[in-house]
Structure 1
Amino acid sequence: MENKETVGLGSSAKQAFEKLEKVGEGSYGKVYRARERATGRIVALKKTKLPQDKEGVPPTTLREISLLRMLSRDSHIVKLMDVKQGLNREGKTILYLVFEYMDMDLYKFIRNFRKTGKNIPPITVKNLLYQLCKGVAFCHGHGVLHRYNDSRKLIGLAWCVHVLESFRKSSLQYLCYV
């Protein structure tokens, strides 16, 4: 699958996307389902606030973007397609991470099966576990540790990960995605 960059790389997030609905929120920001205006493609926009007391983009944010671009090479991990800049109502700078949109996660998938009263077919379980293991193997092969404390973080493998910092092996850097 080809990872095409979002059209209008130089344009702001507000010009490039129409927010459709908020789909998640966490300590790292809010996530919206949005439509790319130029193509009509549905994406996930992760809105990340930048600290206003510092100039430029914090090193942790740059590390996150770099890591996500690297992880996007694997077909079992959700793709970071682009990074956009925008301003909030107060005029403060916000970064939007543009991901491919996943309309299903493991929690919803299991819940839908439970509603039918049927068990998930063994071949489906096997397929899901295979995909999970492939994504985990890619992460581990590139020095990325992870934690799945919530099944909503899985499928398309949009998950919460820890990144082992190369300079301080004893501390972990957190990257979370809804």
Structure 2
Amino acid sequence: MRRELNNGNRSGRPYQQGPSEGYRPASQGAPTISLPPPPSEPTAVHPSPPSESNDAHPAKASRGGNTYDLLTCVGEGTYGKVYKAKKNDTGLIVALKRIRMEGEKDGFPVTAMREIKLLQNLRHENVIRLHEMMVSKGSVYMVFEYMEHDLTGLLSLQGINFTPANLKSLNYQMLSGLAYLHDKSILHRDMKGSNILLNARGELKLGDFGLARVYSKFKRDDYTNRVITLWYRSPELLLGETVYGPTVDTFSAGCIMLELFTTKPVFQGNDEIHQLEVIYSILGTPSEEDWPDVKDLPWYELVKPKESLPSKFREIFSKWLSPAGLDLAQGLLAFDPARRLLADQAMQTPYFTSEAPPMEKPLQ
């Protein structure tokens, strides 16, 4: 099925994004992909949680009758610190995301305001839940349900081995969350492993909505081009497109699907031009037949391929994925956004509907 969609863009250096709220706890033993030597990830910085000796956090946060004991600092991102906390009256474990206010000339950070406004209206089992907002002793906190892990962390842990049924469940949950967002006319715009959170029950939830925004389904609008971590960015964004829709998220989902199977990001570029070269080395170079509008993209003439390369996708990934899994991943990673699978379409493919084994949540 063809759907005309909007596409995406950015310019300049890769967008710098902080760590997720989860832990960084994946499996080993899978075959190795032959790729150019990867650099340190340019757009995802994961500093270690600060020690108590040089960053003592307050013991409590309270608002009215709600009091939380702050148990430990579990992460620090671009927009503030994240604490594991316990609500005193119920014992509920939550994540408190403290919003960094220092250096804000306009008062409250615009990115945090956008994230709060979006999350207040979202209710889905595969999207992180914002319980409430708190102001305590001059600090502003977002109170989230607590998630023990993020995908990047799990995939870096030795001894964690997902079964084929686990992998199918994780992919389905990811696409289910995306389908819900897109149905609500919301683009996530920062899909990557560290923003995909899991709890001890194997439930997956999409997190970190700092770059998310509402989009129009009925007209073509220009949006900011500084979105999506480089290794998960779609080709049309890399080629300068500024008018885009939900397929920028589903390309990222295809990257994450491959990462789940191989335990590492598969498209690891140094910069935008090298990122395209890495994608072409695996997916091949797009022809006008594959992508009729590719030559119309703003930066095509500047970064067009020097040579025509065949796709090596099925040759490389048949070590990990079944034929139905390969079909799904290729659909999510299609060059032409008009031919790329949407999340709801991907959930109806044979990989989920007819291929064994049945889905089974991990970590249970």
Contact 1:77 1:157 in 2 (8 A): yes
> How big is the shift at 1:169?
4.2
Correspondence for 2:205 among 154, 157, 160: 157
Indicate the SS of the match to 1:70.
coil
Q: Distance in 1 between the 2:213 and 2:90 partners?
A: 37
Is 1:109 the counterpart of 2:154 in the alignment?
yes
Q: Which runs of 5+ in 1 are unaligned?
A: 1-8, 88-92
* CA displacement, residues 37-85 of structure 1 (integer Å, 9 cap, x when unaligned): 1111110000013366556x566543321201122x0111111001000
Contact 2:82 2:97 in 1 (8 A): yes
In structure 2, the CA distance between the partners of 1:126 and 1:47, relative to structure 1 (3 Å rule), is: same
In structure 2, the CA distance between the partners of 1:38 and 1:135, relative to structure 1 (3 Å rule), is: same
Q: Distance in 1 between the 2:113 and 2:166 partners?
A: 37
Amino acid at match of 1:40: G
Contact 1:79 1:99 in 2 (8 A): yes
- 2:70 is aligned to 19
Amino acid at match of 1:160: D
> How big is the shift at 1:153?
1.6
- 1:76 is aligned to 126
Indicate the SS of the match to 1:17.
strand
Correspondence for 1:66 among 87, 93, 117: 117
In structure 2, the CA distance between the partners of 1:152 and 1:164, relative to structure 1 (3 Å rule), is: closer
Q: Distance in 1 between the 2:150 and 2:156 partners?
A: 10
Contact 1:45 1:99 in 2 (8 A): yes
Q: Would you say how many aligned residue pairs link Structure 1 and Structure 2? A: 153
Indicate the SS of the match to 2:175.
helix
* CA displacement, residues 13-58 of structure 1 (integer Å, 9 cap, x when unaligned): xx61111111111110000000111111110000013366556x56
Alignment of 1:116-127 (within 5 A): 116=159, 119-127=161-169
- 2:224 is aligned to 171
Amino acid at match of 2:191: Y
Q: Distance in 2 between the 1:126 and 1:22 partners?
A: 32
> How big is the shift at 1:104?
1.8
Amino acid at match of 1:123: A
Q: Distance in 1 between the 2:112 and 2:154 partners?
A: 31
- 1:4 is aligned to none
Is 1:137 the counterpart of 2:182 in the alignment?
no
Is 1:96 the counterpart of 2:141 in the alignment?
yes
> How big is the shift at 1:123?
0.5
Q: Distance in 1 between the 2:119 and 2:129 partners?
A: 8
* Bigger strand share: 1
* CA displacement, residues 123-145 of structure 1 (integer Å, 9 cap, x when unaligned): 10000000000001111122222
Contact 2:96 2:142 in 1 (8 A): yes
Contact 1:163 1:172 in 2 (8 A): no
Alignment of 1:16-55 (within 5 A): 16-50=67-101, 53-54=105-106
> How big is the shift at 1:10?
4.9
Q: Distance in 1 between the 2:185 and 2:225 partners?
A: 12
Contact 1:165 1:173 in 2 (8 A): no
- 2:52 is aligned to none
| Bigger relative contact order (CA 8 A; separation at least 6) | 2
Amino acid at match of 1:163: A
Percent identity over paired residues: 31
Indicate the SS of the match to 1:22.
strand
Higher Cα radius of gyration: 2
In structure 2, the CA distance between the partners of 1:43 and 1:142, relative to structure 1 (3 Å rule), is: same
Indicate the SS of the match to 1:78.
coil
Amino acid at match of 1:128: L
Indicate the SS of the match to 1:111.
coil
Amino acid at match of 2:224: S
Worse-matched range after superposition: 133-142 or 61-70 = 61-70
